[in-house]
C-alpha cells in the first residue's frame, strides 16, 4: 500500500514539474518574438524644465480645484493635454513649441474660462503682463459694481436728455 501511495505521489510531483516547465517554456516563447510583452514595466525619467501654470479661481468660491481643463497647441487642431486642476486651482502643462497656446477650463454647470498663453522660442512663457494675463479685478468687486451703477444712471441721464431735446 505504501509503495502504491509513494508511486502515485511521485507521479503527481513529476506531472506538476512538467506543467511548471511547460508554462515557463510557453512564457519564454511568448517573450521572444514580442518585445512589447515587456511593456508592463513602466520606465520613467525625471526632467527639470519650465512649465506653464494657470491659476483658476472663482469670485465667490476661491480656487477652482478639480476642474477639467484641456490644452490646445498653437496649431489649434489637436488637444495637447487634458487634466484636472490641482487643489489650488492650478492647471499645469509643459509646451513643446513656441506659439499661442490655448487653455480651456470648463465645469459641468457652464462655468469656465479660455486663456491664451504666448510661448517664445527657448522659453516656456513670455514675460507676463499683469493687465493682459490676469482677469483678477484690480479695483475690487464693490468699486466695479458701483462703477456699473454709475454707468447705468449716466446712460439713463443721457437718454432723458435726448428725450427732452426731441
Partner 1 sequence: MHIPDGLIAPQAYLAAAALAVPCWAYAVRRVANALDERAIPRLAVLTALAFVLSTIMVPLPGGTSAHLSGMGLLVLAFGLWPAFLAFSLVLALQALLLGAGGITALPVNALCMGLAGGAVVVGVRSLFGANTSAWATVLPVWLGVVVAAVLLALVLGAQPYLASDPDGQPQFFPFGPAVTLPVIVLPHMLLGLLEGVLTWMILGILDSRRAAA
Closest separation between CB of residue 144 and partner 1, Å?
A: 4
Closest separation between CB of residue 160 and partner 1, Å?
A: 5
Nearer to partner 1, 98 or 112 (CB): 112
Q: Tell me: does residue 63 bind partner 1 (CB under 8 A).
A: no
Stretch that binds partner 1, among 7-15, 67-75, 89-97, 117-125 (CB under 8 A): 67-75
109, 121, 122, 129: residue in contact with partner 1 (rule CB under 8 A): 109
C-alpha cell of 147?
462703477
What's the CA gap between 71 and 73, in Å, rounded? 7
Burial class (CB in 10 A: 0-12, 13-18, 19+), 51: exposed
Residues facing residue 58 across a β-bridge: 62
- Residues 137, 127 contacting (CB under 8 angstroms): no
2, 77, 129, 131: residue in contact with partner 1 (rule CB under 8 A): 77
Closest separation between CB of residue 135 and partner 1, Å?
A: 5
Residue 95 neighbours by CB distance under 10 Å: 21
Amino acid at each position: 500500500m505504501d509503495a502504491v501511495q509513494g508511486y502515485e505521489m511521485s507521479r503527481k510531483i513529476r506531472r506538476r514539474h512538467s506543467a511548471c516547465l511547460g508554462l515557463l517554456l510557453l512564457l519564454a516563447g511568448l517573450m521572444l518574438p514580442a518585445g512589447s510583452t515587456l511593456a508592463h514595466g513602466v520606465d520613467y525619467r525625471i526632467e527639470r524644465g519650465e512649465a506653464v501654470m494657470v491659476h483658476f479661481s472663482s469670485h465667490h468660491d476661491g480656487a477652482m480645484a478639480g476642474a477639467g481643463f484641456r490644452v490646445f497647441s498653437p496649431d489649434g487642431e489637436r488637444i495637447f493635454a487634458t487634466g484636472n486642476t490641482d487643489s489650488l486651482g492650478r492647471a499645469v502643462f509643459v509646451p513643446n513649441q513656441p506659439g499661442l497656446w490655448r487653455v480651456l477650463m470648463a465645469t459641468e454647470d457652464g462655468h469656465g474660462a479660455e486663456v491664451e498663453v504666448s510661448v517664445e522660442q527657448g522659453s516656456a512663457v513670455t514675460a507676463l503682463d499683469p493687465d493682459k494675463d490676469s482677469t483678477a479685478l484690480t479695483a475690487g468687486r464693490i468699486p466695479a459694481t458701483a462703477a456699473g451703477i454709475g454707468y447705468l444712471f449716466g446712460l439713463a441721464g443721457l437718454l432723458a436728455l435726448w428725450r427732452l431735446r426731441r
